[in-house]
Homo-oligomer: A and B are copies of this chain.
Amino acid sequence: MPENRLPTIIDVARHAGVSKSVVSRVLSGNGAASPAARAQVLVSAHELGYRVNVAAQTLVSGRTRTVGVLLRRSTSPFYAQLMSELQSAANLDDYRMVAVTGNLDEASEQRALETLLELRVGGLVIGSGTLPNEAIAAVAARLPSVAIGRDAPGTGADVVRFDAERTALEAVRLLSATGHRRILLFDSTSSYSALPRRTAFLDAAAAAGIRTDLVETGYDFGPSLQAASEAIPRLCGPGAATAVVALSQEAALAAVAAAESSGLAVPAALTVLALDMNESVVPLRWDLTGYVTDVRGIARLTWAALTRRFADPAAAPETRLAPLSFHAGATAGTAVS
């Protein structure tokens, strides 16, 4: 066995003095082997440092016990935590998990997805709001797939997303009760994940007689700050909009930052509400008021959807709604009259 090469089943077989099929049976766990042979194989495998060659396994079986996770952006706390939670879930069920990340642009996201397909992963978690539905449909037809945080109608993929409708109703009720009649919605049109939340919020706001103006900020802090700095002085204040509702935590932080530098105190002069926050690992500059996503819950639902598909590949796609909880921070108050 040359140095730069991992031992194979044949090496183990030779070392243990049995045939390679016996080794395969023992190590994979299906198929019979005498206790003596079993013991000897295990010892030999351990001694040689044997590790299964997933490539060969994949080739022969056509499918791996490996789940691929596509993350829109590994640096976003939500996706980072999602990766972590999914890894735990996979470990528990004795699956492998690998993650890839797009980097802002759609091309690299598509490329990341390619990587997973080329590796012939047995299941796919799509944590991306920018991938078009056609792309999802193309892969979902081939292997069990779960789309996270967005709808994926007609693609055949399972969906796990936030309960946008409930959140919208609650948020509008809160704003209504505290006297807000005109607000700004910080939106991100480039993300499919924004769609259900935007729609639900606009519907709820309209029903409550709240006037809502859309401001395109995107999800990230930098661009949001720029957009907010322009929009807030122009559209907010007494007699104008008295609250900003943001689809993302970063956009909400940007709203507070922009308000403060425009001389609008938060929450005295302006309320800021985040529709989608994550539990933060470190203390942020402001204690936002809003709805906190239960990432672990999302990961659990996702894994459940995936295993359901492993068990029954023909099962009809389902949508599961993840729970959200309200966090009473320090950025919401009554409307200035």
Contact = CB atoms under 8 A, between A and B. Distances in A.
A96 interface: yes
A130 B284 CA distance: 28
A268 interface: no
B53 A56 contact: no
- Chain B CB within 10 A, most for which of A54, A55, A117, A221: A55
A81 B87 contact: no
A20 to B, nearest CB: 16
A257 interface: yes
B281 A283 contact: no
A138 interface: yes
Contacts of A80: 74-75, 80
Contacts of A54: 55, 118-120
A14 to B, nearest CB: 19
A6 B282 contact: no
Nearest to A286: B283
Interface residues of A, number: 63
Interface string A262-294: 000000000000000000011111100000000
B101 A101 contact: no
Contacts of A120: 6, 53-55
Interface stretch (A108-116, A170-178, A186-194, A300-308): A108-116
A87 B100 contact: yes
A203 to B, nearest CB: 30
A99 B74 contact: yes
Given A55-B119, A98-B100, A281 B74 contact: no
B97 A221 contact: no
A118 B75 contact: no
A49 B101 contact: no
Interface of A: 3-6, 49, 51-56, 58-59, 62, 64, 66, 68, 73-77, 80-81, 83-84, 87-88, 91, 96-101, 103, 108, 111-112, 114-120, 138, 141-143, 220-221, 249-250, 253, 257, 281-286, 313
